[in-house]
Structure 1
Amino acid sequence: MGRRKTISYHWQMPRKKNHSAKLANKIKNIPSPYTPKDFPNKLPMSYPATPLSKSILGRSQGLLAKHINAIGSHTHAEFDEFGFPKFAEGEGGFETIQQIEAEAIWMLSSVLGGTPQTIDGFFCGGGTESIHQGMWIGREWLNTKSDSAKKGIVVFTTPLGHYSIAKGVELTGMGHHSWGQCTRCNKNHIFNPDTNGCGLHLVGMNNSGEMSLKQLDKRFKQKFAEGFRKFMIVATVGTSLLGSIDPIKEIADYINKTRRETGANFYLHIDASFAGFTVPFVAPDFQFAFQIPEVMSATVDGHKMGQLPYPAGIFLCRKGLMSLVAKSVNYVRGHDDDTIPGSRSCLAPILAWYIMKTEGFDGQKMYVSNCLSLRDELYDRLKQLPIPTQVFDPNPWVNQLGVAINFSALNGVHNANCGIPKMILEPRPNTTPETDKYYHVKGKLAAYHLRADNFPIDPSDTMSCPQTVYKLCIMPHHTLASFDHFITDLVEVYNLWEEIISRS
């Protein structure tokens, strides 16, 4: 066997004339996970994204070539009696895209209970960045409130809250927590809050994965008794695992009642990264955002169900709140920036504006409805599987499913209650049936890119041992044929695994 050439990552000039052609070809041949060539009917089941339309792709190239900076936020305007805006001064040369982005923000806010006169916002690098913007503003807003004990801020969310919430707590200095190993199940699910009592605290849920008002009240009373007076709640509309929706209106009513009774201050941020582009179009009367006075800010993600390219996070908040984090910038026209990213691409906001204008409300409604119909088909098929599964009942307005699938334990190879063996989910290594007794199951489900998370066996108890639940995102590129392939492969590999167990 010959010696392998040493690879170099030095930035250097090409040594061969055809070097750039090879690089261009490599870029051209980057595979799409949504339309795999080797397995055209074996599509990823857990990715919350889909291929872009030809219309969007056609407009992206020209925008990229213009290389426009959308720095700052552009919804700050004064309105005349007819509703026409007079925009605040922004960085020069980019006025057209600034006004287009403002229109896109206001059009989106119109289905979330907002108006141009009541909502500010901007497009950003994803849901994570938007959540962090909301938590940053929330911290500053809460810090304007009295706190004689100076205990800090408590942040409430559920175990299904997005991991960026925990990151945001640390980034904003509101607390430092950790996770420990459970002595019962050996999983790292034991939550250890900040030793000072501030920062992140988890709230129990109901069996559908929705925040429990009873558990929220229990957590609040505990922290209030400890002297805390400032609270942030990050509630979710469309959790990553189940698509569940926290009871936003009931949480808001609880905030209003508790504020009056105790004098505590609350900041409520809504993470609608996934369902912000689904619920308003199939359940327009359902209130979860700015229709509710207690909601201060919200996150929506355009690269999930908004038909936009990555990254397309969107931050929305009550008019004027962004001034709490505005920073003076002498060398930028307009002289301030109230966003985390600063410089950013104009691609997502301009394409969002284009889609909203061309497809309208009914176009997005059809886009969502088609996914929900596919989800219902998959739900029915999963419920009929001849193998042990628990299929969670989906939220009617969110095209996601959660399913627990537990393969039998095999000593030293796969533990009980840990889902599907890793060797089945990961690509098969270069082995042969003669040398590898697991050859026929290895990589069997790799093409589906299944992703799982923990869900407490007792959802009301955040410390209860979790079960492994797989998240299924049913997107526009899925087909009934792709579901057939997935279910056939799942049942086949389960039976193969049981044969291995019986021979062991």
Structure 2
Amino acid sequence: MLYWKKLSQKEKQERIQKALEENVNFTHDTSLGYPASKLDGKVFNSEASFLKDAPILQTYVANPNHIGCHTFGTSEKAFKGTQEIEREVLNVLAVDIFKAEPNSFDGYIAPGGTEANIQAIWMYRNYFMYELNAKPTEIAIIASEDTHYSIPKAANLLMLDWLKIPVETYTRVIDVFALETIIIKAKAQGKKYFIVVSNMGTTMFGAVDNPDDYIQMLEKYKLTYKLHIDGAYGGFVYPFSNKNCDINFENPKISSITIDAHKMLQAPYGTGVFICRKGLIENVLTKEAEYVEGMDLTLCGSRSGSNAIAVWMILFTYGPFGWCEKIRVLQMRTEWLCEQLDALGVKYFREPFMNIVTIQAQYITKELEEKYDLVPQKHGKGNLWYKIVIMDHVEIDHLSTFITDLKATVHAKKGITSEILDIT
């Protein structure tokens, strides 16, 4: 690890205090040009005594604006202290976790994985148009049917076709025969450039796509593509649970990655991460943002610097070994649940290195769904699955109670079936 280590509470407080001192201080500094200020003092008391021991809340009240991208060109100097904290976070994520070379990437803390995914597709669309003179009608998105809804949202916003690739019902593996058929048809219809979204942990199943399925098929037909990894859910799990994980920047075919810090990392909601290789993000430079130093390369524009501080605090509280230990605990709980389901003969899907267990709907009653807040694959008719996500608050005691209730349900159904057989 080049950048990631565990820090004491004192070290973290001192580092963030130093960063805040390097930012503009709207209470004491004469700052006339920014349409910004600290949070309203009549509502948020910046003199509260507890703030001195709460660096994230100090940052929240100070209200730094991290508009722009701080790995590319210049940025607003008024917030340079906390911008440096954001760069430290990106170094940990890009280099230490996803194996990029130092200074070989751009990125930013986005307001969630949805924006980060749209940012990637926007960037690649523009890359194909600006660098390769592609027409929008010649560009298509390829992603599986299990892909997050941010992908069809991006297709709608950017007016691109989404080629939805089927997956096998019970393994959630990409249907490579259907993939080939769809690519052949798209090529015949004039599609020449492809934006590929490969999942590292789908929202419903935690399934992990094999990027090589896409790579091999597109290269077989000599098609131009860019490959984005949607690790919004799995990015803080899969690289730690699977020692052989090779879905990272060591693979030269992978150009960008999305991660969500507000899921497994338990950062405040509205905290995603976008990382891409150098030489790409300038395709979404908004030159019209001339009043912003460095202009803007992000979809959202203004964004809270306190989100970056929250991610930094979490990463440097755990350190790499502490985080690995946390993920191992969640994996053990997940494995315990799977063992109990196996003993009951209940059918489910689980990606071996993920902490999501998705149970076939035939085993789940309405009472179980409501009592345990189980999430269906689709609300309404036609639902086939319910998922359980083993988050930090989900302990064995909770799972044991669920298994007890599920066992009663399974036995009751077996009893009904036996009665029907006896009658017939």
Cα deviation for residue 284 of structure 1 reads: 4.1
CA-CA distance at 1:494 after TM superposition: 5.9
Which of the residues 146, 152, 163 maps onto 1:166?
Answer: 152
SS in 2 for 1:201: strand
Aligned equivalents of 2:93 and 2:210: distance in 1?
22
Of the three residues 340, 349, 353, the one matched with 1:381 is: 340
- 2:163 maps to 201
1:315 correspondence with 2:274: yes
In structure 1, the residue matched to 2:17 is: none
For the residue of structure 2 that corresponds to 1:304, the secondary structure is coil
The equivalent position to 1:222 in structure 2, one of 182, 185, 188, is 185
Q: Does 1:271 align with 2:234?
A: no
Q: How much does 1:324 deviate?
A: 0.5
Q: Distance in 2 between matches of 1:134 and 1:280?
A: 21
Give the Cα–Cα distance (whole angstroms) in 2 for the partners of residues 490 and 66 of structure 1: 49
C-alpha separation in 2, matches of 1:287 and 1:238: 14
Secondary structure of 2:162's match? strand
AA matched with 2:374: L
* Shift, 1:356, TM fit: 2.6
Report the number of matched residues: 364
Give 5+ residue unaligned stretches, structure 2.
1-42, 45-52
**Deviation by residue 1:167-189 (Cα, 9 ceiling, x = unmatched):** 11001111xxxxxxxxxxxxxxx
The within-5 A match list for 1:71-470 is 71-76=67-72, 88-110=73-95, 111-144=97-130, 146=132, 151-174=137-160, 199-206=161-168, 207-255=170-218, 257-258=219-220, 261-262=221-222, 264-328=223-287, 329-334=289-294, 336-385=295-344, 389-392=346-349, 394-406=350-362, 420-421=365-366, 424=367, 445-453=369-377, 468-470=384-386
1:95/1:378 CA distance change after superposition, 3 Å: same
**Residue 139 of structure 1 aligns to which amino acid in structure 2?**
R
Identity of aligned residues (%): 27
> How far did 1:250 drift?
4.2
TM superposition score normalised by structure 2: 0.79
| Structure 1 gap ranges (5+) | 1-22, 25-56, 77-87, 175-198, 408-418, 425-443, 455-464
* TM-fit CA distance, 1:245: 0.7
Deviations 1:191-218, CA, capped at 9 Å, x for gaps: xxxxxxxx01211224421223333222
Q: Work out whether residues 445 and 489 of structure 1, in 8 Å CA contact, stay in contact via their aligned partners in 2.
A: no
More helix by share: 2
1:106–1:119 contact (8 Å) kept in structure 2: no
**Superimposed CA distance per residue, residues 257-313 of structure 1 (whole angstroms, 9 cap, x where no aligned partner):** 33xx53x22121110111111122233442112121121211101111123221211
1:134 Cα shift?
0.7
CA distance in 1, matches of 2:361, 2:225: 39
The question of whether the paired residues in 2 share the 8 Å contact of 1:240 and 1:471 is answered with: no
Deviation of 1:132 (Å)? 0.7
The answer as to whether partners of 1:445 and 1:490 remain within 8 angstroms in 2 is no
The range that moved more, 273-282 or 485-494, is: 485-494
- The equivalent residue for 2:65 is 69
Measured after TM superposition, the shift of residue 314 of structure 1 is: 0.5
2:18 corresponding residue in structure 1: none
CA distance in 2, matches of 1:93, 1:237: 37
Structure 2 vs 1, CA of residues 292 and 214 (structure 1 numbering), >3 Å: closer, same or farther? farther
Q: What amino acid maps onto 2:99 in structure 1?
A: G
TM-superposed CA distance for 1:112, in Å, is 0.8
SS of equivalent residue, structure 1 residue 305: coil
Distance 1:492 1:445, change over 3 A: farther
In the alignment, what sits opposite 1:16?
none
Name which one, 1 or 2, has greater alpha-carbon Rg: 1
Matched residue type, 1:450: L
Alpha-carbon separation, structure 2, partners of 1:341 and 1:148: 25
Is the 1:237–1:270 contact (alpha carbons within 8 Å) kept by the matching residues of 2? yes
Q: For residues 285 and 235 of structure 2, what CA distance do their matches in structure 1 show?
A: 26
How big is each residue's C-alpha offset from its partner over 1:47-73, in whole Å with a ceiling of 9 and x where there is no partner?
xxxxxxxxxx94322221111111111
8 Å Cα contact 2:202-2:208 kept in structure 1: yes
1:349 is displaced (CA, Å) by 1.5
Q: Which residue number corresponds to residue 11 of structure 2?
A: none
Deviations 1:205-245 (A, max 9, x none): 24421223333222111111222112111110111122111
Q: C-alpha deviations, 1:313-353, integer Å up to 9, x for none?
A: 1011111311101112222223x111011111112212222
For the aligned residues, what is the CA RMSD? 2.8
For residue 490 of structure 1, give the secondary structure of its aligned residue in structure 2.
helix
CA distance, structure 2, for counterparts of residue 298 and residue 285 of structure 1? 18
Indicate if the aligned counterparts of 1:156 and 1:234 stay in contact, CA closer than 8 A: yes
Question: For each residue in 1:437-471, what CA deviation from the matched residue of structure 2 results, as whole angstroms up to 9, or x when unmatched?
Answer: xxxxxxx54231111116xxxxxxxxxx9761112
> What secondary structure is seen at the aligned counterpart in 1 of 2:377?
strand
Pick closer, same or farther for the CA change 1:288–1:420 going to 2, 3 Å.
same
Contact 1:237–1:275 (CA<8 Å) still a contact in 2?
Answer: yes
Within 1, Cα distance between the matches of 2:99 and 2:217? 20
Normalised by the length of structure 1, the TM-score is 0.67
Q: 1:204 to 1:145 in 2, by over 3 A?
A: farther
Distance 1:59 1:131, change over 3 A: same
Contact 1:268 1:297 in 2 (8 A): yes
* Secondary structure, counterpart of 1:120 in structure 2: strand
Counterpart-to-counterpart distance in 2, 1:58 and 1:378 = 37
